[in-house]
Each structure stands twice: as structure tokens, then as C-alpha cells.
């Protein structure tokens, strides 16, 4: 009996002195960030957002290139010619009427040419000028869409991390209670009030709780890594998340009576811009029969000499101006077929919008149902926590008085920990479902 008692005392000492497991993934001096801080950082540093901003700049540069044809175009060219054999010309004598042949020209010729052209009217340039603002708007909408996705992803990842941290707190409380239960079971066993199985069951419950606590704390590091990824935060730098419990409770509320406004969704705005662009394509093919009109000026500074060494000793400049006109007469029906195709493609956008509106409504109804059910579930789990804690306190007191067996304590403890974790899950599921609902209604907006 003394040997058994010694083993029990040793086991109790080991369990009572076992350190609380909580893996610190960040230093105590690390930066503290709340949800707004994380979102603000992500909007400035997230690679996908910065890529979208670069694409905006690329779009503006492309538009400048496509409309550069309205400006005067200046080019310099030159030819250096050496005749091995001069060309032959035929000259008619005005007196006799006889035709004679003779060599004509100069052996060495150099002609640098300055050419300036100015477009006066060009259907393609008119089209490029009209679609340029739409392309910029479209690129900005892509950036806004990316920002909305990042805001939603950061928020949900932040809430997921907080859920794990809250679960750790719950499991710590559970471990503390089970430590006390193990202590009570031991002394009651030593006093002969209960048998050995109560003590063993208390030790098993404590071990299981510590295992859950260890698993939860090990999950902190990868969840921090995931939050860094969606934020664009350097992996080598550390930070701690902080949150205001009162504000988190306030953030749960959402007015579900708001009506769905399809035009607030960035996807629909993008589609409408794309349809306007297609409308410009239709207008372009309607007017592609119009002529292209331009002006030009040439200045030729010609050098001629039969001796190459003296080629640049004398110059014979000349210049001229003119207009150029080009008008398509027949293109093998390509213009009419292009116009037909452009109109059909325009019709596709109408069907795309109808399909997108249907998808938006489906997303909205699903998100609204999820939010409402999670709101109800939160209320139920909150009540369950109150009842489970009350039941546990009563059962624990009854066990200490020897009224009920330890199995009742285990059941009450299990119900309490299940209720507390269930409440935490319900809370953060509700916060995440609110993000989905706001996103489906187009309420998550960002300043461009």
C-alpha cells in the first residue's frame, strides 16, 4: 500500500508541476496590430495589390502609345548612292526631231531627308482616344476587386487566428480546473472516500486537456504565417494580434433588412465597363469606311558630285508639302463581317450580365442565411455556456461532498469545455459570415 501511495504522489507531483503549454510565436517587444492595422498594411504591401497598381500604370502608358499618332511624327532618313554605270536617258532634238541617247546624272549622290507627318483624321485613332478612359477605369476596377478580396481574406484569417487564441484561453481554464479536480480526487482517494478509478479518470482527463492545449498552441505559428501571407508581411518579422472584445461583440450586428443592390458589386461594374468597350468596337467598325487624311512635309538636302572626295562640297536642297488620303473601297466584306461579329459579342455581354446577377443573388441569399443561422447559433451556445458552467459548479460541489461519482464531474467538465469552445466557434463563424454577407452585397469598399 505504501508503494502504491508513493507512486500516486509522484504522479500527482508531475502532473501538478507540468508547465502550461503556450507557444510564443512572437517576441514580447513585437509590433501589436489590430484588424484595422492588418488591413491597412495589406492594402499598401500586398503583392497582388501592388501588381494591380503596376498594371494600372501599364494601361495608362499603353493608352499614351495608342493615341500618340495625333501628334506630329518626325523622321530623318538618308541615302548614299554610287553609280557604277550612270542611267541612260533619251533626248529629242527640238530642231531636227532626232532622238539621241546619253548618260545622265552624277556618279555620287547623298540625300539626307527630314519628313514630318501630321494626322488630320483617322478612325483608328478616334477609337483609341475613346476607349482609353474605359481601359483605365477597367484597370482601376481590377485593383478595387483585388483590394476587396484582400480585405475579406485578411479579416477572415485574422478572425481564424483569434479563434485559436481564444480556444487556448478556454483550454487553459479547463486545464486549471482539471488540475484542481485531480488534486481533489487524490485527497479523497487517500481519505478512502473514493476508489482508485476516480483518480485515474481525473489524470486521464487532465492529460487529454493538455494534449488539446498543445495542439492548439502548435497551430498558432502556421496561422500567423498565413496571416502574414495575405497581408504581404515579411516572414522574418514578428507581430502580435490584439483585439477589443467589446468592439468585436459590436461588430457582430448587421442590418439584414438592407436591400441587395447589384450595381454595388465590383464584378458587375467591371462587366458594364467591358460592355462599353465592346460598344466602342462596334462604333469603330461602323465608321471604318471613313478615309484617313494626313499632311506631310519633306525637306531633302541633296549632295551630288562625280568625285567622291568632293561629294559634300555642294548641296542642292529642295522641299515639298502635301496631303495624303486613303479610303477603303472594297475589303472583301471584312468590314461588314467585323461589324456583325462585334454586335454579336456585344450581345454576349447582356447574357453575361444576366448570369452574373443570378450568381450574385445566389451568393447573397446563401450568405444571408449563413449569417442568420450563425446569429441564432451564437445565442444558443452562449446560453449553453451559462448552463454548463452552472451545472459543473453544482456537480463539482456534490462530488466534493461525496454525493455523486466522479463520472458526473467528467461529464459536466466535458459539456462545459464543449460549450465554451462551441461558443468561440460560433462567434468567429458569425464574424466570418458577416464578411461574406458584406462582400456579397458589395458593401466592402476601398478608396482607390
Condensed to tens digits (0 to 9), the pLDDT of residues 53-73 reads: 999 999 999 999 999 999 999
pLDDT of residue 189: 63
- In order of 10, 205, 389, the CA distances from 181 in angstroms are 17, 9, 15
Do 337 and 430 lie in one domain? The reply is yes
**Separation between Cα atoms, residue 53 and residue 49, nearest integer Å:** 6
pLDDT of residue 319: 95
Half-sphere exposure of 400 (CA within 13 A, CB side): 11
Residue 136 included in any domain:
yes
Do 245 and 151 lie in one domain? The reply is yes
CB 141 within 8 Å of CB 436 = no
Average pLDDT over residues 387-404: 87
Residue 445 included in any domain:
no
The domain of 322 spans 72-121+292-326
* pLDDT tens digit sequence for 41-56: 999 999 999 999 999 9
| Final residue of a structural domain among 326, 347, 380 | 326
* pLDDT category of residue 267 using cuts at 50, 70 and 90: very high
Residue 89 included in any domain:
yes
**Separation between Cα atoms, residue 355 and residue 363, nearest integer Å:** 12
Residue 269 included in any domain:
yes
Do 82 and 178 lie in one domain? The reply is no
Considering only 69-78, 127-136, 168-177, 216-225, which range has the smallest mean pLDDT? 168-177
- CA 81 to chain centroid: 60
Mean pLDDT, all residues of the chain: 87
Q: How many CB atoms lie within 10 A of CB 1?
A: 5
**Separation between Cα atoms, residue 271 and residue 387, nearest integer Å:** 52
* pLDDT tens digit sequence for 368-394: 999 999 999 999 999 999 999 999 899
Do 129 and 112 lie in one domain? The reply is no
Do 356 and 230 lie in one domain? The reply is yes
**CATH number of residue 304's parent domain:** 2.20.200
pLDDT of residue 294: 95
Do 142 and 181 lie in one domain? The reply is yes
CB 275 within 8 Å of CB 349 = yes
* pLDDT category of residue 1 using cuts at 50, 70 and 90: very low
Q: How many CB atoms lie within 10 A of CB 7?
A: 10
**Separation between Cα atoms, residue 434 and residue 369, nearest integer Å:** 11
Do 42 and 57 lie in one domain? The reply is yes
Do 17 and 135 lie in one domain? The reply is yes
* pLDDT tens digit sequence for 329-353: 888 898 899 999 999 999 999 999 9
* pLDDT category of residue 188 using cuts at 50, 70 and 90: low
The share of the chain scoring above pLDDT 90, in percent, equals 62
The pTM assigned to this predicted structure is 0.82
Residue 193 included in any domain:
yes
Residue 447 included in any domain:
no
Do 160 and 301 lie in one domain? The reply is no
pLDDT of residue 203: 82
**CATH number of residue 343's parent domain:** 1.20.1600.10
Residue 57 included in any domain:
yes
Do 230 and 190 lie in one domain? The reply is yes
Higher pLDDT, 181 or 428: 428
Which residue from 135, 123, 142, 134 is spatially nearest to 48, judged by alpha carbons? 142
Considering only 10-19, 223-232, 415-424, 439-448, which range has the smallest mean pLDDT? 10-19
| Final residue of a structural domain among 305, 326, 347 | 326
Residue 448 included in any domain:
no
Count of the separate structural domains present in the chain: 2
Do 307 and 356 lie in one domain? The reply is no
Q: Which residues of 201-216 are buried (b: 16+ CB within 10 A; e: fewer)?
A: bbbebbeebbebbeeb
Region of 332 please: left (phi>0), alpha (psi -120 to 50) or beta: left
Do 78 and 225 lie in one domain? The reply is no
Amino acid at each position: 500500500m505504501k508503494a502504491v501511495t508513493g507512486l500516486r504522489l509522484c504522479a500527482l507531483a508531475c502532473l501538478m508541476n507540468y508547465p502550461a503549454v503556450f507557444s510564443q510565436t512572437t517576441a514580447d517587444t513585437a509590433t501589436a496590430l489590430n484588424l484595422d492595422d492588418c488591413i491597412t498594411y495589406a492594402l499598401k504591401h500586398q503583392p497582388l495589390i501592388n501588381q494591380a497598381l503596376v498594371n494600372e500604370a501599364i494601361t495608362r502608358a499603353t493608352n499614351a502609345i495608342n493615341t500618340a499618332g495625333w501628334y506630329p511624327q518626325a523622321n530623318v532618313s538618308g541615302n548614299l548612292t554610287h553609280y557604277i554605270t550612270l542611267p541612260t536617258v533619251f533626248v529629242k532634238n527640238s530642231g531636227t526631231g532626232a532622238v539621241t541617247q546619253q548618260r545622265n546624272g552624277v556618279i555620287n549622290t547623298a540625300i539626307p531627308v527630314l519628313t514630318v507627318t501630321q494626322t488630320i483624321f483617322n478612325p483608328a485613332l478616334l477609337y483609341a482616344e475613346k476607349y482609353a478612359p474605359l481601359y483605365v477605369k477597367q484597370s482601376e476596377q481590377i485593383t478595387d476587386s483585388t483590394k476587396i478580396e484582400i480585405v475579406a481574406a485578411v479579416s477572415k484569417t485574422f478572425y481564424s487566428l483569434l479563434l485559436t487564441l481564444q480556444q487556448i484561453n478556454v483550454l487553459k481554464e479547463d486545464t486549471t480546473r482539471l488540475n484542481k479536480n485531480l488534486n481533489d480526487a487524490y485527497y479523497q482517494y487517500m481519505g478512502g472516500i473514493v476508489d482508485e478509478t476516480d483518480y485515474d479518470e481525473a489524470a486521464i482527463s487532465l492529460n487529454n486537456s493538455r494534449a488539446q492545449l498543445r495542439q492548439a498552441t502548435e497551430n498558432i505559428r502556421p496561422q500567423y504565417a498565413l496571416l502574414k501571407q495575405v497581408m504581404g508581411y515579411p516572414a522574418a518579422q514578428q507581430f502580435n494580434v490584439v483585439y477589443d472584445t467589446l468592439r468585436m461583440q459590436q461588430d457582430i450586428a448587421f442590418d439584414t433588412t438592407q436591400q441587395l443592390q447589384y450595381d454595388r458589386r465590383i464584378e458587375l461594374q467591371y462587366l458594364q465597363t467591358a460592355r462599353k468597350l465592346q460598344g466602342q468596337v462596334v462604333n469603330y467598325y461602323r465608321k471604318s469606311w471613313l478615309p484617313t487624311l494626313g499632311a506631310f512635309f519633306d525637306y531633302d538636302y541633296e549632295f551630288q558630285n562625280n568625285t567622291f572626295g568632293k561629294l559634300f562640297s555642294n548641296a542642292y536642297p529642295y522641299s515639298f508639302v502635301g496631303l495624303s488620303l486613303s479610303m477603303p473601297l472594297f475589303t472583301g466584306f471584312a468590314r461588314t463581317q467585323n461589324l456583325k461579329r462585334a454586335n454579336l459579342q456585344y450581345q454576349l455581354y447582356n447574357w453575361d450580365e444576366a448570369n452574373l446577377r443570378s450568381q450574385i443573388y445566389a451568393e447573397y441569399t446563401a450568405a444571408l442565411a449563413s449569417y442568420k443561422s450563425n446569429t441564432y447559433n451564437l445565442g444558443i451556445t452562449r446560453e449553453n455556456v451559462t448552463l454548463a458552467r452552472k451545472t459543473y459548479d453544482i456537480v463539482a460541489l456534490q462530488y466534493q461532498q461525496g454525493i455523486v461519482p466522479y463520472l458526473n464531474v467528467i461529464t459536466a467538465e466535458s459539456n462545459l469545455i464543449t460549450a465554451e469552445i462551441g461558443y468561440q466557434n460560433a462567434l468567429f463563424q458569425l464574424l466570418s459570415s458577416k464578411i461574406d454577407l458584406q462582400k456579397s452585397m458589395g458593401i466592402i469598399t476601398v478608396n482607390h
